[in-house]
Amino acid sequence: MTTSTTTELTIGGMTCASCAARVEKKLNRIDGVTATVNYATEKARVEHPPDIGVDELIATVERTGYTAEEPPPPEPAPTAGAGAGSGDGSGSGDADTRDPELAALRQRLTVSALLSAPVVLLAMVPALQFDDWQWLSLTLAAPVVVWGGLPFHRAAWTNLRHGAATMDTLVSIGTLAAFGWSLWALFLGDAGEPGMRHGFDLTVDHSTGSSAIYLEVAAGVITFILLGRCLEARAKRKAGAALRALMELGAKDVAVLRDGTEVRVPVTELRTGDLFVVRPGEKIATDGTVAEGSSAVDASLLTGESLPLDVTEGDTVTGGCVNVSGRLVVRATRVGADTRLARMARLVEDAQNGKAEVQRLADRISAVFVPVVLLIALGTLVTWLLVTDDPTAAFTAAVAVLIIACPCALGLATPTALLVGTGRGAQLGILIKGPEVLESTRRIDTIVLDKTGTVTTGRMSLTDLHVYEDAGTDEDTLLRLAGALEDASEHPVARAVAAGAAERLGPLPTPKSFENVPGLGVRGSVDGRLVLVGRAALLTAEGVEVPERTGPGAVHVAWDGIARGTLTVADTVKDTSAEAVTRLRALGLRPVLLTGDHRAAAEAVAAEVGIDEVIAEVLPEEKAGVVRRLQEEGRTVAMVGDGVNDAAALATADLGLAMGTGTDAAIEAGDLTLVRGDLRVAADAIRLSRRTLATIKGNLGWAFGYNVAALPLAAAGLLNPMIAGLAMAFSSVFVVSNSLRLRRFM
């Protein structure tokens, strides 16, 4: 067997989807390598044999004309975090400081806009033109074309040396052609004469070639595209804000107990088993178990749950959450990359780096789109020359084709929606493993819900008590004696009885004797009475006649040789489960309750939450078989579960939703992870996935429709090149803005 290694690279120099397609194609040509390149995140995820080193992968990317490097480790924040920061970082005044690339882009845009504005105004408003205005336009436009458009020209030249063409090729050829024509007309034609006037038309200009200048096209298009790039960069920064917030949640240092003394050390020095102190207002440094103290913990930025969770000794806590009230001493159980926070961030990043099937189609189109556009532009030029014998009109139409066809929107359609959708999911406590999951949510028609820990709390509690007729006792006495004896046992049923008795009656008496009867119950002496608590078989074995038999969960109580009554213990339904089932039905899903419990108990839970279909008394290893049987009936099945025994069923289902409060095995098997144990999040997860997929399809529909509609218009001479540049920039901004609407998903 051969093993593969996964390496992530940061790719530099990409300017459109066709760039990403080229890098991906080159990497995939290496034997044994499978690569996915994401234009929006500017990252490549490469699976390769161990004998192929990272240096070889980087060299391959560089030979393609781009830069590549392994992402640097995250830099620690300058201060230790007490409380949780927002982590947004978008739109703030110091955004440029944190992002030098965005700062340089904004500087280039600002200078180009200031120089281009007079050029565009003079060209579009003939009344503003004066003698020799064209020479002022040349003076102002030249720096924009040369310096402002330098990134496009440099990238086009690099691609040309590698025998490729991208969006930059279209922009560079179009703007240089417009500028070159203007230079010829000014110095060798009639356009440089004093008193020359120039009209402006939204369509192709049919004026004589020697007096036509296109300086406003050259300068305006570059400015518009720089504006689009700048807005894209800021939007992508906003889209990735949720992931940055997630990765910045962790504490930076921690007070570790060494021989009873607090020593503050960097969180990287924390080890499994260490005891550390968390004071009110501080972040919990890593996953652990409370060893001392009690408090309320705010996990809102991690789970989306606004209500603080009360914790005490023995409870588990998650790194990144904020201690609200009391002092806690926590024993570390997971550190570093094994913590829940780190795994959540890794899941979100993996999902954002992936590609849905619809995006792969877009990438394949983008890879051939630019060469096709170059041929269309050449064909437009030749056709106009043959039909009209008007070089000015032919040139204008060809340049408009080059500029309008830039496939920026096509490349941004899917990744920006994924960035925002998965980031918003992380804020709400929903982790989407990959973009292919989005496709699955659209087809789901049946959702199978594991009962214990998913629909119910997974904790037993006392729900009812019944005193037999002629038993010679009352409810309080029955509960007090049974609760006192069960208080000495560690069995979950016994703990539920004892807790219920203490809650109703207060302090319980202490048994003078106690004996556990394995598998049956307990016996002992309380207040001078020989008390039996347990199954009917325990009472029968002691010669006590049981007058009534009840269903599962019944605990029988007897003393002094007489059966006195029964207590009913059951796994309680979560307060939100009924509402969750209603929401799932509203999404067109058919809920099914799946459990290994007795049918009577399962049907009682199902009736309480509004589920009609129940599959009960199923062994753990049979759950996956139940899912397969439903699939064979023609259903597309989602499965929600939280235990080890649910892992196989989660993996078998068309869509697996793992409760984040459950076991690692279940979480690894699921396609979606619901960080908090609220079944309503399952409905939210499916809604968010469907909304994200709909946004992706809407973006692609716009991008495809835009190019399909705009190219014929440009070729027919119905678009001025400068208007084409503005429209092209707008299409990219529209796609990104449409994706950003997912940030408001609730």
Which DSSP state fits 211?
A: G
**Token pair listed for 175:** 């703007």
Rounded-to-integer distance, Cα 232 and Cα 225, Å: 10
Q: Return the ∠ at Cα 260 (arms to 257 and 261), rounded to 5°.
A: 65
- Cα–Cα nearest to 283, from 261, 313, 251: 251
Environment class of residue 203 by beta-carbon count within 10 Å: exposed (0-12), middle (13-18) or buried (19+)? middle
Residue among 64, 140, 108, 353 nearest 230 (CA): 108
Those residues with Cβ within 8 angstroms of residue 545's Cβ, 6 or more apart along the chain or in another chain: 539, 563
Q: Name the residue with tokens 């090729």.
A: 169
Say which residues have a Cβ less than 8 Å from residue 117's Cβ, sequence separation at least 6.
Answer: none
- Nearest alpha carbon to residue 56 among 2, 7, 1: 7
Alpha helix locations (H) across 50-193? Answer: 54-63, 95-98, 100-124, 133-143, 150-161, 167-187
Element (H, E) at 340: helix 340-353
What DSSP string runs through 222-236? HHHHHHHHHHHHHHH
Q: What is the dihedral of CA 420, 424, 430, 435, to 10 degrees?
A: -10
List of residues 6+ apart from 277 with CB closer than 8 A: 255, 256, 257, 262, 327, 328, 329, 330
In whole angstroms, give the CA distance from residue 552 to residue 529: 27
The tokens of 40 are what?
Answer: 């929006």
To the query of whether residue 99 is one of the catalytic residues in this protein, the response is no
Q: Which of 168, 274, 450, 642 is catalytic?
A: 450
Residues 16, 39: contact at Cβ < 8 Å?
A: yes
From CA 549, how far away is CA 520, in angstroms rounded?
Answer: 15
With CA atoms as reference, report the closest residue to 233 among 101, 407, 350, 94.
101
Burial class, 649, CB count within 10 angstroms (exposed 0-12 / middle 13-18 / buried 19+): buried
Indicate the SS3 state at residue 601.
Answer: helix
What is the phi/psi pair of residue 30, to 5°? -75, 135
- The DSSP 8-state label assigned to residue 719 in this structure reads S
As a whole number of Å, the CA-based R_g of the chain is: 34
Cβ–Cβ < 8 Å for 449, 611 = yes
Q: Return the residue matching tokens 């048994």.
A: 511
**Residue 207 CB contacts under 8 Å (≥ 6 apart), including other chains:** 199, 392
CA nearest to 486, candidates 511, 507, 458: 511
Instruction: Give the number of residues written for the chain.
Output: 746
Within 8 A by CB and 6+ apart from 637, the residues are: 444, 446, 447, 448, 627, 630, 631, 653, 654, 655
Task: Give the position of tokens 């208080």.
Answer: 487
* Residue type for position 90: S
Q: List residues with catalytic annotation.
A: 450
